[in-house]
Chains A and B, each alone.
Chain A
Amino acid sequence: MTQNASLMSGVPELLVLRLLSTREMYGYELARAVRESTRQAISLGEGVLYPALHAMESRGFVKARRRTVSGRTRVYYAITPRGNRRLGELSGEWRRIAGGVRALLEGT
């Protein structure tokens, strides 16, 4: 299914922050979690996650650390307090938009 790019803008950030608010994860884990938690309704190019993660790290929303698990070194990401505040803002914004669209659809 194709997805409208302008509708999708900001979605990776929201999804990543929401998922990282539960526990720290590495990129591949996050991509799987996005697929599973959105019941495959949202499919991001999985490579898109990394620039989003690095940009969020630059803005202080997540922090990265290397961890070796089962002999493989991976970069794990965890949400920061600033990221939690950002998640609150983004969630509020999306709920407001979704509420508006729902009201419109139910009204027609």
Chain B
Amino acid sequence: MTTQRFEGLSQRLLRAGIAPRHVKRMVGEIEAHFADLVAELRSAGLSQAESESQAAVRLGTEDVLIANILAHPELRSWARQRPWLTFVLLPLFALAVQFVLSMLAAVAVVAFSTEVLGITALYPGPVPWIVRGLQAYGVWIAPIAAAAAACFLAVRSGAPLTWPIVGCALVALLGAATNASFEWSPAVPRGVLSGGIGLHLPDLGLTSGLRAALTILTVLVPVLWLRRKRRELTSIP
């Protein structure tokens, strides 16, 4: 566990983009090294205070340690090495995957209800509600979930928010441009399921614009608040 002496080093390394697994282990090793140096100097007859002071000199100042660690780009987290991929392309991909899966789930629910449970369009029970829920998930929740995951990852790793904001905006626009609808009409004994998905780009109407704005606000307001809180908590006096 990191003591107060090295907590500042740990936080500064995380904020600088060093991978958490490297930070945790390296700070632990530096801390153990410090303890070994203090024990060595104590056994040479120095006082505790003198030993700690000399041990700190031999290890190097916090600034020197950080400069040396930052000189190795391979120690940076994956997200910091490729922020455009982590915070823009992955959320867009995650949105597409969630949308497709929610639509497939809706089709599967209807197919299972009619084929296995024998439910018909005349007496559909809860099936339309489930389908509407999945549809709402694909259209409304999926963009928020994809953008929020990227933004919260950025806050957690202390990454700058430029790329996550770009990703959030693109996900919001793509989400707002996407539509899905299901119609289960009781035309024949089992009913006819018709569905459609649509993408209206680049002409986003007012409704789509509002949807995009809602997604952006829903994600960014708590993210910015959380980031501010984390900065207050981790600021070293």
A residues neighboring B (CB under 8 Å): 26-28, 31, 45-48, 50-52, 54-55, 58-59, 64, 72, 74-75
Complex alpha-carbon distance, A45 and B69, angstroms: 12
Question: B210 → chain A, closest Cβ, in Å?
Answer: 47
Residue of B nearest to A29 (CB): B36
By secondary structure, the B interface counts as helix
Residue of A nearest to B74 (CB): A58
B residues neighboring A (CB under 8 Å): 22, 25-26, 28-30, 32-33, 36-37, 58-60, 64-65, 68-69, 71-72, 74-75
By secondary structure, the A interface counts as helix
Complex alpha-carbon distance, A48 and B36, angstroms: 16
Judge whether B33 and A58 touch: CB under 8 Å.
no
Chain A hits for B59, CB < 8 A: 45-47
Given contacts A72-B32, A75-B29, contact A47 B75 (CB under 8 A): no
Set B25, B64, B69: member contacting A75, Cβ < 8 A: B25
Given contacts A45-B60, A46-B59, A47-B30, contact A55 B37 (CB under 8 A): no
Chain B hits for A26, CB < 8 A: 29, 32
Set B22, B32, B33, B58: member contacting A54, Cβ < 8 A: B22
